[in-house]
Amino acid sequence: MSVTKLFITVAVFLAVLKGQVFSGDGLWFFTANEIAVAYRFQQHYGARLLYPLKPEGCLYGQEEFIASFRGKQFPAPCRFVTETIRHLRETLELEVAKYLFPLDLDYGRLGVPSELWKTKYSKLSDAEQLRALLREPSLVVLYHTAAHLKPEADTRSAGGENWQKKNLLGFYNGQPMKILSRGSDEALASGLEGYTWLNDFKILAHYLGDLQFVIRSTVVTFDISFDDERAAEVSPKPVNVSVTSR
């Protein structure tokens, strides 16, 4: 890759990170090699998420840590952190995703069964809702991968057939992740009934990150945040989850 193309790739990546590129733009998609270059830039020179979670104690046997949402702190279960790490490790091990940043996998959307949302969560304030969600045994998370990867012909150079645009469902009860039925966003939404989706959390790799795991002798270091400006709030919306085992 030429120096000029490298700078263009990084510049467009930064625009994507800031939400300045839209799907109708020809710069929306990247080759596997371009994404790899942008990821290395993010790891070493990119910005970290704002107000990342700092659950160090969870790695040493504590059951709770102090999380923050809208600048307010509250106790949260370490299970949320350890299970999210499990999801991300499993996703990278399977090569369903390769990188934790905006050109691949950069956020999770939390949800609960719609009937449970109606009876338990619908009357709670946003802050109360998130605090309760993180302790909910039925909590699930929806991940999207490879949103900016060029069509499947380019994935052959990525080192495996698994790294393609996919949707993944993660559980917080130890259950293995599941790959959702593929198709357009409209087909996915129409097939996702039975769950109500609520808060997002952002995920971003950085060498100074507060969280890490090891995969194939490589340390993956990253942050998670509920308070980053890109961690969007989601209006409660019921969707039906149709899954196929991996």
User: Which of the two residues, 75 and 244, has the higher pLDDT score?
Assistant: 75
pLDDT tens digits, one per residue of 76-90: 999 999 999 999 999
> What pLDDT, on a 0 to 100 scale, did the predictor assign at position 28?
74
How large a percentage of the chain has pLDDT more than 70?
A: 73
User: Taking each helix axis from N to C terminus, what angle separates 32-45 and 3-17, rounded to the nearest 10 degrees?
Assistant: 70
> What pLDDT, on a 0 to 100 scale, did the predictor assign at position 240?
47
Residue 73 lies in a domain: no
pLDDT tens digits, one per residue of 124-145: 998 899 999 999 999 999 999 9
Residue 64 lies in a domain: no
Q: How big is the CA angle at 241 (ends 215 and 95), to the nearest 5 degrees?
A: 20
Tell me the pairing of strands 243-244 and 178-180.
Answer: antiparallel
Residue 211 lies in a domain: yes
Q: Give the residue numbers spanning the domain of 101.
A: 3-51+83-244
pLDDT tens digits, one per residue of 25-38: 456 788 888 899 99
User: Which of the two residues, 159 and 177, has the higher pLDDT score?
Assistant: 177
Residue 15 lies in a domain: yes
Residue 35 lies in a domain: yes
Average pLDDT over residues 4-33: 58
Residue 123 lies in a domain: yes
pTM: 0.81
Burial 102-114 (b: 16+ CB within 10 A, else e): bbbbbbbbbbbbb
* Residue 96, pLDDT above cutoff 50: yes
CA dist., res. 81 & res. 152, Å (int): 32
CA dist., res. 157 & res. 144, Å (int): 21
pLDDT tens digits, one per residue of 182-206: 655 555 555 577 899 999 999 999 9
Residue 66 lies in a domain: no
Question: Count of domains in the chain?
Answer: 1
Residue 71 lies in a domain: no
pLDDT tens digits, one per residue of 38-71: 999 999 999 999 999 999 888 888 999 999 998 8
